Amino acid sequence: MLGTRERRREGEGKGEARGRGPERGERTARARPAGRWLWGAGTVLLVLAVHGNWHLASAAWLFPVFLLRYSRLRPARRGLLRVGCALGLAQLVWLTSTGMVFVPSVLAVFAVLAVVQTLPFAADRLVAARSGSVWSTLVYPVVLVCGEYLFTQLADFGDYGVLGFTQHGFLPLVQLASVTGVYGVSFVVAWTASVAHWAWGRGFRWREIRRGALVWAGVLALVLGAGGVRLVCCAPTTDTVRVAGISAGRAAERATERALRTAGQELWRPRNLVRADPRRVRPALAPVADDLVAATDREARAGARIVVWPETQAGVLADGQQRLLGRVSEIARKRQVYVNTAFALYTPRPPYVRNVAALVTPEGKVAWTYDKTHPTPMEPMTPGKGAVPVTGSPYGRLATVICYDADFPGLMRQAADRDTALIMVPANDWAGFESLHAQRAVFRSVEYGYAMVRQSVHGVATAVDHQGRIRGMADYFTADRQTLVSEMPVRPRTDTLYSRTGDLFALLCAGGTLLVVALGVRGRRARAGVPGAGDDRP
């Protein structure tokens, strides 16, 4: 028996030396029956893991285990193609659930994302499978993070597709973002799956996996322990300010919608609206704006010192902007409150609309007028200049961006660089997408150490402190009038290592990916019989 076992191990070792991997015999014997359920289980878990309103955080830890196993047990081309199909299917399900499946540019971008997400599996199959070392478990997470980072930098579509966002509720782990950004969370989740797959390939025999399991457990304990310490020892200050996020009530929205329908045809199109008779358009737009002004006064009288409007719920013609801001200025002076207004500003020149936020100070002055830097693919408007406005206040420095802007870490870093204590984010979401942005906002606050109030009409409005704790929440779809009131700790801002070093961790993973590519090329040359390649013998 002992001799048979030794001969079997010797044969496996020769197989590894020839570049066939330690699991070739197992792959040949069990590929067909194993492939069906491995791919099916991995795909189902993947669909549940994609960051949507219905996602399961635990599924993000599990789906790579099954898909990694599947790709190892199948011939490389066929296995990786089917893994890519699973990733593409998950993206399609996500696009359908969010209503963006009908936007051609979005479809194209997410098709590219599915290809990028396949690359870590390819690296594991073609490089890591050649080694039995525990260090081979780093291949999958390193390439995954590199792909996430490059997609964020090159696609100009925000940081969608990042695995770490699925863990927004796991606060001890989320604190890692203050050091590495959200990419570190992606790494931990992916590495855990890679280690589990590595242990599975060795039958979970403790003697063989002990060293690797202890290394992984030690790192995870360090990460979670440090996160727990940060939550306890860097708790938010008790020096707070009352902030109110307001949205116009449903009755006002319906009144404006009815008036626009009767004022002319397709007035929801900016070009048609600005060309229509202003005497009919102004009364049609008035109900929402009037409701927001009244709500501003109501919340200021109730004790709010900062009021935040939602994105583009209010609309105003260009010649009516000063009148609207004048009405808000009277309230700001009288109640001594900061009001971050936001509205669609209709202009006579193409593209006929601007997406604007304007801060009115307690002195009745307009501190800034900010145009949205990153319009979504569904917004036909000219982008703003990309400069995040910041101003001082008794409650710490205040800043603003608008909705989709918060998905771009580089833009959000501007606020941290100028020591922002509270960033206000007017937003406008939709059914099927109502929770996603609110959950992603958790990471921006942890990464940069500032509090955030994200007032989202047609979505979930959220107030988050610098540790990612939810200080307030209001769901538009569960109330006739969405109002978010929270006591926000805003002074002083908590500095973070990530705000100083930026995407250093992601860049290190990019460097690690180059090393993986070099190892893959070297192994390929060795298998092709190039003299001296991949062979340390004389």
Digits of tens for pLDDT over the chain (538 positions)?
444 444 444 444 444 334 444 444 444 444 455 578 999 999 999 999 988 777 899 999 999 999 999 999 999 999 999 999 999 999 999 999 888 888 888 899 999 999 999 999 999 999 998 887 889 999 999 999 999 999 999 988 899 899 999 999 999 999 999 999 999 999 999 999 999 999 999 999 999 999 999 999 999 999 999 999 999 999 888 889 999 999 999 999 999 988 888 765 667 788 888 888 898 899 999 999 999 999 999 999 999 999 999 999 999 999 999 999 999 999 999 999 999 999 999 999 999 999 999 999 999 999 999 999 999 888 888 899 999 999 999 999 999 999 999 999 999 999 999 999 999 999 999 988 889 989 998 999 999 999 999 999 999 999 999 999 999 999 999 999 999 999 999 877 889 999 999 999 999 999 999 999 998 888 777 766 655 444 333 2
Cα→Cα distances 137→4, 191, 204, 334, Å:
29, 7, 15, 62
Q: Give the CA count within 13 Å in the CB-facing half-sphere of 474.
A: 23
Q: Are 355 and 375 in contact (CB under 8 A)?
A: yes
Long-range contacts of 262-268 (CB under 8 A, 24+ apart): none
Neighbours of 509 (CB within 10 A): 26
What span, in angstroms and rounded, lies between the C-alpha atoms of 486 and 470? 10
Query: What CATH number was assigned to the domain covering residues 241-493?
Result: 3.60.110.10
What span, in angstroms and rounded, lies between the C-alpha atoms of 464 and 444? 10
What span, in angstroms and rounded, lies between the C-alpha atoms of 520 and 154? 25
* Helices marked H in 244-392: 250-263, 270-275, 278-301, 321-335
| One-letter identity of residue 42 | G
> Is it true that the peptide bond before 492 is cis, omega within 30 degrees of 0?
yes
The domain limits of the chain are: 2-234+504-527, 241-493
Q: Are 342 and 457 in contact (CB under 8 A)?
A: no
What are the structure tokens assigned to 51, written together? 């960051």
